[in-house]
Amino acid sequence: MDQLKQTHCQMITTARIHDTYAASRLLNFCAVSESGDVNYALKLFKSTPEPNSFMWNTLIRAKASSPNPQEALLLYIDMRRLGVIPGKHTFPFVLKACSNLNTIKSIKQVHAHVLKFGLDLDLHIVNGLIRGYSVSFGLDNARKVFDEASERNLSIWTTMICGYAQNDFADEAIKLFDYMISNRYEPNGVTLSSVLSACAQSGRLDLGRKIHVYVEEKGIELGVILGTALVNMYAKNGAIPKAKQCFDGLKEKNIATWNAMICGLAVHGHANEALEFFKTLDKRRMMPNNITLVGVLSACCHAGLYDYGCEIFYSMKKIYGIDPKIEHYGCMVDLLGRAGRLLEAEELIKGMVWKADVVVYGALLSACKEYGNIEVAERVVKEILVLDPDNHGAYVVLSNMYAEAGRWEDVSQRRNVMKEGSLKKTPGLSSVDDILQNPDFELPISNLPTNSTSSFVLLNENNTIPGWTFQGEVRYVTAGANVSLPRNGHAIMLGQDGKINQTFTANGDLIQYLLTFTLSLASDNCKANVSLVVSAPDSSAEFSFTQKYGKETWEVYGQQLGTWGNGESVNLILQSQVTDTDPNSTCWPVVDTLFLKTLGPLAQNSDNLLPNGGFELGPAFLDSSGEGVLLISEPSLVESALQQWTIMGTVKYINSKNHFIPEGKAAIEIVSGVSAGIQTAKTLSDGSNYNLEFMLGDANDSCSGEFIVGVGAGSSAQNFSLQSNGSGAVKKYSMTFKGGPSLTQITFLSHKTTQREDGVFCGPVIDGVVLRASHGHKSNLQPILIALVFLAILQMSELL
DNA sequence: GTAGGGTTAG
């Protein structure tokens, strides 16, 4: 800076300072260099009569990574006010500022400006947008930018993968990584750091190992970040010796590397070793940070080291200069709670400068449960419900505590409070509830023979099953050598005239109930044609095995039971039905793992005329529904399990956990071949132009071949095809059509039958169906984005 | 003359 100042003087005395180009070089050094001085840069800037866009960019860049990133945004606003046109270098810095801001969410407004200046094709800017949305405005938006990018490079893939990993969507991160590999991109160390983090979160030691081998084979340098990610991956997955080996082998370590080791050891019950590592930090002249102390305190919790934990907690400010944050208090509440010091824990929470959150209270509630302290638990539950009115878990814990203490009146009172809706559900959101009793038949029958060799025990009046009533031949099935069930355990076989039923009470204003369940057959060598009939007061559907739609011996089905209001009593009946008599048949239906999901009123989406065009609203996925949930033919819009769509043939409702989904968390795979598909209808204005957008893809389920989907909209029809190699691809299509006089129908029908190599029927994936009024002129700016621009300009002018 | 993506947490 000394030399720079001398040069600056020379430039002033020789009037060269008026050469804006030369002045900008001075500014650049001050603003960007490690040995620079941002304040000096600001003075220089202010003394420049007409700073050019380079100077603006440089200053915005400096402020974007400063402790006050909002100053970068204010500079950008000044720049606009003075009429300086931002360029392709401006927005990466402005977007960086958005990403670095913790509180103000400005990404959407900046996005609007990017569009306004026509810079949305620039890859650096696309990257900045994805990053910005990932940290502040939701992954769905980030993914939308990613999906709609005209072109992608490794950085963009990496940013999106990192976005998932950092937001705890490890499975999504890994899925996208797989997809990236299938698109033949070669990951580098930056990409792999994020993927390793995802492997650590989701227990993917297998993939983590492969990445380690890949890194070694490719000679990718194990720098401190990639090295730390690797150590963390091994440590979190419990491969402690391997973690240590990597740790020792790293040339460079920082505090994060040590934290990965300490936290990994703490989590896996090696508390004392974690503390040993912690004590070694001193010798390595490494300074612990707040995360280190979280690890140390949690190690103390796990090992019950009450005194040492307290010592660390009460001296951390003095010794390490770290103020205890809510995370540290969380550990302490846990530590005190485990030691039975519930009142002290409660006092500790009251004394915090932060507002206690659900995690802190949750730790205390667990301790209350452990020690049976109902008095404290009641106070804690009250606090939890203030913070999170929908927290059923807290009620359940308290209710169980009453039950354990024999306070049955309190139990039923609690239940009533829940039913009367002091725990109100938010409309439009779905929830999965424990509405049914014994829904997976794991509460055993009254006289389950302990050493019985029989896997099928006949129910009778002395041998009943909790929660259910039954008639006819009903058998209690236990998984074993000759019976396989979704979660092992138990299930119910419905034999001759077999029927089970259960009554539950609807709670909430007109809520729709969707049932998911698994169905298998008691013998895989079936002659007779037997089906299962599931019925409720307003609906009935018949399920039978016709084709193989998954690799398991059971299949998962979804059905809408009906819509009921508060207090209505619903009788759910499951019974066998013989459609082709064979008295020697042993081929009866076996049902298991029933799951009820409720859906509130349908939310309207302003930029899509079709509600549920993304198929996000449908039946629940079971843990065992890796192959998706089958929806059978249902011609009624009102009775369909897939909101707003009728079903032809059989379609599979698939989720992002187990399949490649073009958008959001769920999609439809048309599996039963020719003329199977989905249909919806909408009142449109007669003769007006509309635009229908949708995505056609494959589910990454090895379903390969040519997919042909016929799309009908009003009186228009068109075929769309996709050559699938079954590894997760998607194509976006659109078509225009005219609205009809009454209801206009929109139909997606498969024109081909496809089978996987293992014989399983499969087919095209449909997702992201968007219907919009078309305004005639061709614009690649979508209406929503145009609206966004106007909104943003309005907001910006308010700021000014 | 200016630019992008990464590790650790109750």
Q: Which residue is nearest to nucleotide B8 (CA to C1')?
A: A256
For tokens 């994805």, the residue is A130
Nearest nucleotide by C1' from A226 CA? B7
CA–C1' A197–B5 (A): 14
HSE-CB for A520 with a 13 A CA cutoff: 24
For tokens 């494959």, the residue is A698
Q: A585 phi and psi, to 5 degrees?
A: -65, 140
- Give the per-residue pLDDT at A547: 79
Is residue A170, in this structure, part of any structural domain at all?
no
With residue A772 as reference, give the H or E element that holds it.
strand A765-773
Nearest nucleotide by C1' from A361 CA? B10
- Angle formed at CA A17 by CA A11 and CA A18, multiple of 5 degrees: 150
Long-range contacts of A399-406 (CB under 8 A, 24+ apart): A400/A369, A401/A368, A401/A369, A401/A372, A401/A374, A401/A377, A402/A374, A404/A372, A405/A372, A405/A374
- Give the per-residue pLDDT at A523: 73
A345: domain CATH number is 1.25.40
Same domain membership, residue A614 and residue A597: no
CA–C1' A35–B3 (A): 21
Same domain membership, residue A653 and residue A752: yes
Residues 6+ apart with CB under 8 A from A538: A561, A562, A563, A639
Q: Which residue is nearest to nucleotide B1 (CA to C1')?
A: A25
Highest mean pLDDT: which range of A80-84, A546-550, A780-784:
A80-84
Terminal-residue alpha carbon distance, chain A: 35
Nearest nucleotide by C1' from A360 CA? B10
- Give the per-residue pLDDT at A720: 92
Q: Are A759 and A736 in contact (CB under 8 A)?
A: no
For tokens 């400006």, the residue is A113
Residue A354 scores a pLDDT above 90: no
pLDDT, averaged across chain A: 86
Average of pLDDT values for A679-708?
A: 89
* Residue A503 β-bridge partners: A571
Chain-centroid distance, C-alpha A669 = 20
Residue A478 scores a pLDDT above 90: no
Is residue A316, in this structure, part of any structural domain at all?
no
Same domain membership, residue A448 and residue A409: no
Is residue A50, in this structure, part of any structural domain at all?
no
Chain B bases having any atom below 7 Å from a protein CB? 1-10
Confidence of residue A567 (pLDDT cuts 50, 70, 90): confident
- Give the per-residue pLDDT at A783: 52
Nearest nucleotide by C1' from A225 CA? B7
Q: Which two tokens stand for residue A141?
A: 């938006």
Nearest nucleotide by C1' from A96 CA? B4
Average of pLDDT values for A656-685?
A: 88
With residue A40 as reference, give the H or E element that holds it.
helix A38-46
Angle, helices A358-371/A326-338, rounded to nearest 10 degrees = 0
Residues 6+ apart with CB under 8 A from A393: none
- Give the per-residue pLDDT at A428: 32
- Give the per-residue pLDDT at A787: 58
DSSP-derived secondary structure for A350-372: HT-SSPP-HHHHHHHHHHHHHHT
Average of pLDDT values for A149-153?
A: 93
- The C-alpha atoms of residue A451 and residue A38 are separated, in whole angstroms, by 79
> Looking only at Cα atoms, what is the longest distance across chain A?
110
- Give the per-residue pLDDT at A791: 55
Q: Quick one: which of A137, A181, A122, A133 has its CA closest to A157?
A: A181
What are the tens digits of pLDDT across the range A599-624? 876 666 668 888 889 998 899 888 76
Q: Which two tokens stand for residue A342?
A: 């519930």
What are the tens digits of pLDDT across the range A229-249? 999 999 999 999 999 999 999
CA–C1' A292–B9 (A): 8
Nearest nucleotide by C1' from A21 CA? B1
CA–C1' A547–B7 (A): 48
Domain closes at, from A601, A633, A656: A601
More confident residue, A452 or A265: A265
Q: Which residue is nearest to nucleotide B9 (CA to C1')?
A: A291
For residue A266, which amino acid is it?
A: A
CA–C1' A53–B2 (A): 10
Highest mean pLDDT: which range of A147-161, A339-353, A746-760, A767-781:
A147-161
Average of pLDDT values for A333-341?
A: 90
For residue A620, give the DSSP letter: P
Nearest nucleotide by C1' from A32 CA? B2
More confident residue, A645 or A796: A645
Beta strands in A228-327 (DSSP E): none
Chain-centroid distance, C-alpha A162 = 14
Is residue A239, in this structure, part of any structural domain at all?
no
- Give the per-residue pLDDT at A604: 62
CA–C1' A602–B3 (A): 44
Q: Are A465 and A438 in contact (CB under 8 A)?
A: yes
CA–C1' A636–B8 (A): 53
CA–C1' A623–B10 (A): 28
Same domain membership, residue A440 and residue A414: no
Same domain membership, residue A635 and residue A755: yes
- Give the per-residue pLDDT at A427: 34
- The C-alpha atoms of residue A357 and residue A41 are separated, in whole angstroms, by 43
CA–C1' A341–B5 (A): 47
What would the 3-class secondary structure string for A532-600 be? EEEEECCEEEEECCCCCCCCCCCEEEEEEEEEECCCCEEEEEEEEEEEECCCCCCCCEEEEEEEEEEEC
CA–C1' A746–B8 (A): 51
Highest mean pLDDT: which range of A161-165, A446-450, A501-505, A573-577:
A161-165
Q: Which two tokens stand for residue A608?
A: 């899509």
Same domain membership, residue A415 and residue A348: yes
CA–C1' A55–B5 (A): 25
Q: Which residue is nearest to nucleotide B7 (CA to C1')?
A: A225
Buried b / exposed e over A611-647, threshold 16 CB at 10 Å, is: bbbbbebbbbbbeebbbbbbbbebeeeebbbbbbbbb
Q: Are A174 and A207 in contact (CB under 8 A)?
A: yes
CB-based burial of residue A326 (10 Å sphere; 0-12 exposed, 13-18 middle, 19+ buried)? middle
Q: Are A580 and A544 in contact (CB under 8 A)?
A: no
Confidence of residue A788 (pLDDT cuts 50, 70, 90): low
DSSP-derived secondary structure for A99-138: HH-SS---HHHHHHHHHHTT-TT-HHHHHHHHHHHHHHT-
Domain closes at, from A376, A392, A424: A424
Is residue A96, in this structure, part of any structural domain at all?
no
Residue A199 scores a pLDDT above 70: yes
Nearest nucleotide by C1' from A20 CA? B1
A594: domain CATH number is 2.60.120.260
HSE-CB for A772 with a 13 A CA cutoff: 15
What are the percentages of helix, strand and coil residues in chain A, rounded to 5?
Answer: 40, 20, 40
Is residue A32, in this structure, part of any structural domain at all?
no
Q: Which residue is nearest to nucleotide B4 (CA to C1')?
A: A124
- Give the per-residue pLDDT at A123: 96
Highest mean pLDDT: which range of A309-318, A394-403, A419-428, A791-800:
A309-318
What are the tens digits of pLDDT across the range A517-555? 988 888 766 655 788 999 888 778 888 877 788 888 888
Same domain membership, residue A781 and residue A656: yes
Residues 6+ apart with CB under 8 A from A347: none
Handedness of CA A30, A31, A33, A39 (dihedral sign): positive
Same domain membership, residue A515 and residue A456: yes
Residue A797 scores a pLDDT above 60: no
CA–C1' A107–B1 (A): 28
DSSP-derived secondary structure for A633-651: -B--TTT-SSTT-EEES-E
CA–C1' A323–B7 (A): 23
- Give the per-residue pLDDT at A142: 95
Residue A743 scores a pLDDT above 90: no
- The C-alpha atoms of residue A579 and residue A565 are separated, in whole angstroms, by 35
Same domain membership, residue A462 and residue A420: no
Q: Quick one: which of A485, A496, A656, A504 has its CA closest to A556?
A: A485
Handedness of CA A764, A770, A773, A777 (dihedral sign): negative
CA–C1' A82–B6 (A): 37
Handedness of CA A62, A64, A69, A74 (dihedral sign): positive
Nearest nucleotide by C1' from A354 CA? B10
* Residue A518 β-bridge partners: A556, A592
Q: Are A737 and A713 in contact (CB under 8 A)?
A: yes
CB-based burial of residue A322 (10 Å sphere; 0-12 exposed, 13-18 middle, 19+ buried)? middle
CA–C1' A75–B3 (A): 18
Q: A697 phi and psi, to 5 degrees?
A: -150, -170
- The C-alpha atoms of residue A687 and residue A646 are separated, in whole angstroms, by 25
Q: Are A179 and A728 in contact (CB under 8 A)?
A: yes
* Residue A644 β-bridge partners: none
Nearest nucleotide by C1' from A357 CA? B10
Same domain membership, residue A780 and residue A633: yes
- The C-alpha atoms of residue A764 and residue A673 are separated, in whole angstroms, by 9
Q: Quick one: which of A343, A338, A313 has its CA closest to A328?
A: A313
Same domain membership, residue A553 and residue A523: yes
- Angle formed at CA A332 by CA A331 and CA A338, multiple of 5 degrees: 90
Nearest nucleotide by C1' from A227 CA? B7
- The C-alpha atoms of residue A718 and residue A709 are separated, in whole angstroms, by 8
Q: Are A57 and A84 in contact (CB under 8 A)?
A: no
- Give the per-residue pLDDT at A264: 95
More confident residue, A357 or A86: A86
- Give the per-residue pLDDT at A105: 82
- The C-alpha atoms of residue A271 and residue A274 are separated, in whole angstroms, by 5
Nearest nucleotide by C1' from A190 CA? B6
For tokens 């007409």, the residue is A50
Q: Quick one: which of A346, A356, A354, A331 has its CA closest to A271?
A: A331
Q: How many domains does chain A have?
A: 3
Residue A209 scores a pLDDT above 90: yes
CA–C1' A69–B7 (A): 23
For residue A93, which amino acid is it?
A: F
- Give the per-residue pLDDT at A585: 61
For tokens 């009809």, the residue is A740
CA–C1' A32–B6 (A): 22
Domain that holds residue A353: 335-424
Nearest nucleotide by C1' from A54 CA? B2
More confident residue, A267 or A428: A267
Same domain membership, residue A450 and residue A365: no
Share of chain A above pLDDT 90, in %: 49
CA–C1' A92–B3 (A): 6
With residue A8 as reference, give the H or E element that holds it.
helix A2-13
Average of pLDDT values for A109-117?
A: 93
- The C-alpha atoms of residue A800 and residue A791 are separated, in whole angstroms, by 14
Cα A500 to Cα A467, A469, A491, A512, distances in angstroms: 10, 6, 12, 22
- The C-alpha atoms of residue A110 and residue A119 are separated, in whole angstroms, by 11
Q: Which residue is nearest to nucleotide B6 (CA to C1')?
A: A190
Question: Of A67-71, A272-276, A453-457, which range is least confident?
Answer: A453-457
Domain closes at, from A554, A580, A601: A601
Is residue A152, in this structure, part of any structural domain at all?
no
CA–C1' A569–B4 (A): 59
For tokens 């859906």, the residue is A599
Nearest nucleotide by C1' from A257 CA? B8
Is residue A694, in this structure, part of any structural domain at all?
yes
Q: Which residue is nearest to nucleotide B10 (CA to C1')?
A: A327
- Give the per-residue pLDDT at A430: 36
Average of pLDDT values for A312-324?
A: 91
What are the tens digits of pLDDT across the range A383-442? 888 888 878 888 788 888 888 887 877 777 766 665 554 444 333 333 346 688 888 888
Residue A340 scores a pLDDT above 80: yes
Residue A775 scores a pLDDT above 80: no
Nearest nucleotide by C1' from A262 CA? B8
